[in-house]
Amino acid sequence: MGQEALTNAFKYANASVIRVELRYESSQVVLQIKDNGQGFESQSLSVGRGFGLLGMTECAQSIGGELTIVSHLGQGTEIVVRVQTP
């Protein structure tokens, strides 16, 4: 999921800054990727919009995780994956 998010930021968003953070918390692992690229209208986001987003969603679900995508035109995109730890 991280690789796909980075690919999207490089290939489509024209981002000049990409921040990647991986946190191990007491009950979950959180991967957060945020860029300053062109963004897109997240209100009109459909999981089927692209294979990358669909694949990320399916991957998160397959490991019992939660994927959140927040994006705004001209303001970049933030992808957050949360997976509960046993």
Cα separation of 32 and 23, whole Å? Answer: 8
pLDDT at 42: 63
pLDDT at 51: 57
Query: Looking at the predicted structure, is the pLDDT value of residue 75 above 90?
Result: yes
Count the domains in the chain: 1
Over residues 4-60, the pLDDT tens digits come to 999 989 988 999 999 999 999 999 999 999 999 999 876 655 554 555 778 888 999
CB 45 within 8 A of CB 12: no
pTM: 0.85
Domain with 57, as residue range(s), is 2-84
pLDDT at 19: 97
Length of the chain as a residue count: 86
The residue-averaged pLDDT of 58-78 equals 93
Task: Say which CATH number the domain at 25 has.
Answer: 3.30.565.10
Cα separation of 10 and 63, whole Å? Answer: 26
CB 30 within 8 A of CB 81: yes
